[in-house]
């Protein structure tokens, strides 16, 4: 049995969680109103937020990027920066729309592999209804600790050595658990490594045209387009 540590939240942490979730709900509603599925993941879904927590909204099966941006513009949500990131040659390229430094929408620009979709369940994810209902879900943080919500806070326990158990608990393929363990343990050892591709879009540049142009010189981008 792994060591389990109970963490109890004070009122300040509960207030921060309510505030961040309220802000996230406001950013998700324009997408839901446009019938675009979206979710938030990580500490906002689990509940173990900090003042430095990001607000990340992910669109798992997005329409065209133009429709996404149009839905946000209609709600008065304007981007400060847009970019395309492909973390490694084998990963899906994704579009990112930043509202501010720690507020971001992201979406795949090519179909996701099942293990890529599982990442969000691994970290813990909730949709708008769950967010507004106060639902919190289990997931794994960047320390490789499983966070299991409780009425008073959460219980945390180590993931390493329990990959199969964690996969069953979170309903994901054990391969995503093992891959995340390898990635995060390597990051601990050597620090954060760079990404394979990062392209910041010009103000008049669309995601589709930028991805097509990148695919002409990047075989790994082109391979995921087919």
Query: Is-contact 68 31, C-beta < 8 A?
Result: yes
Question: Would residue 134 be called left, alpha or beta, if left means φ above 0 and alpha means ψ between -120 and 50 degrees?
Answer: left
Q: Angle at the Cα of 67 (from 65 to 72), degrees rounded to 5?
A: 95
pLDDT truncated to tens, each residue of the chain (226 aa)?
458 999 999 999 999 999 999 999 999 999 999 999 999 999 999 999 999 999 999 999 999 999 999 999 999 999 999 999 999 999 999 999 999 989 999 999 999 999 899 999 999 999 999 999 999 999 999 999 999 999 999 999 999 999 999 999 999 999 999 999 998 888 877 766 678 999 999 999 999 999 999 999 999 999 988 6
Task: Quote the crossing angle between the two packed helices 174-190 and 163-170, to the nearest 10°.
Answer: 120
Q: Where along the chain do its domains lie?
A: 4-136+195-225
Query: Is-contact 48 154, C-beta < 8 A?
Result: yes
Structure confidence at residue 14 (pLDDT): 98
Q: Residue 79: which residues within 8 A CB-CB, separation 6 or more?
A: 69, 72, 97, 98, 99
């Amino acid at each position: 049995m792994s060591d389990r540590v109970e963490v109890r939240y004070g009122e300040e942490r509960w207030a921060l969680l309510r505030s961040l979730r309220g802000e996230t709900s406001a950013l998700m509603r324009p997408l839901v109103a446009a019938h675009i599925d979206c979710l938030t993941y990580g500490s906002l879904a689990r509940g173990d937020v900090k003042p430095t927590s990001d607000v990340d909204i992910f669109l798992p099966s997005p329409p065209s990027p133009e429709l996404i941006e149009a839905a946000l513009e209609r709600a008065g949500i304007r981007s400060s920066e847009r970019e395309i990131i492909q973390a490694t040659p084998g990963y899906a390229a994704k579009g990112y729309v930043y509202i501010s430094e720690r507020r971001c929408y992201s979406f795949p620009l090519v179909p996701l592999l099942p293990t890529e979709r599982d990442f969000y369940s691994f970290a813990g994810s909730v949709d708008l209804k769950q967010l507004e209902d106060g639902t919190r879900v289990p997931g794994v943080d960047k320390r490789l600790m499983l966070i299991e919500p409780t009425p008073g806070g959460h219980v945390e326990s180590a993931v390493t050595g329990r990959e199969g158990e964690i996969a069953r608990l979170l309903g994901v393929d054990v391969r995503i658990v093992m891959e995340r363990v390898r990635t995060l343990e390597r990051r601990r050892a050597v620090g954060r490594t760079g990404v394979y591709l990062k392209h910041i879009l010009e103000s008049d540049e669309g995601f589709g045209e930028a991805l097509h142009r990148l695919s002409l010189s990047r075989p790994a981008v082109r391979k995921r387009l087919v």
